[in-house]
Structure 1
Amino acid sequence: MFADFLSRLIQPQPAPLAGADARFALAALLVRVAKSDGDYAEDEVARIDRILATRYGLSPFEAVALRRDAEVLESEAPDTVRFTRAIKDAVAYEEREAVIEALWDVVLADGVRDHEEDALLRLVANLLGVNDRDSNLARQRVEARRT
């Protein structure tokens, strides 16, 4: 299942991802960012589950199942540059901008803004075609909701 999905995702000209495939790829990206500091904390896992449930209208059980599948996909996915560029080519800009906000939500879930996570988020935003200003505004929206 994962090998077929990955091969479709990293084609030179990937087809736009349909609903279930897009959320699968984006869930894997949430997992990758959460793992980037070497500490895949329970706060981050719980935040990913809540984001997936809210964003896609999933039950808590369905969100956990999607995240678990995304963890497997993330572990098998190519390097972040190729993986993220493939998502950019297959997902509309509006969705990518919303993903940056969700990624910031995961990064800030454990209350620590780690340098590795910051660096990866800057790279991911750039590769997704989301400029620094929009990424910073997304971070500020997340921080405002937390206070």
Structure 2
Amino acid sequence: MTILNLLFSLLLLFNSPIKVEKEDISIDPVISAINNNSSSDLAKFFESSISLNVNGQQGSYSKNQAEIVIRDFFKKNPSQGFSIVYSSETNPSLSSFIGDYLSEEGTFKVFIKVSQQESILRIYSLEFVKG
């Protein structure tokens, strides 16, 4: 009888569904960094290499180079408001966001693509396109 109980327990252990929930990572610190024109806070979320398009200046940049390009953009186009208008999750670890960035120079569409590795949010593509 003890062996039967042991086998039954093992069967339940290996056949029981294990629910692994993805920890939702908030995009709020990224929104705040853009709203506050903080290239250093925004760069904390950059991948080591990031695809960047800022007003037609596009390419693949290192994290440090991208921060300099973004700092220059913020200096020339100070934020008068930023908000996310659309978000999409293509799979559990990839998400895309579209936002509106308002400045004296006009409105820019912002396209943000992020990956989630464990509990870390990383921006691998960022675009500011004048609308």
Q: TM-score per shorter chain, which class?
A: under 0.3
Higher strand share: 2
Max radius of gyration: which structure? 2
Does 1 or 2 have the higher relative contact order (CA < 8 Å, sep 6+)? 1
Q: TM-score, normalised by structure 1?
A: 0.24
Q: TM-score, normalised by structure 2?
A: 0.26
Higher helix share: 1
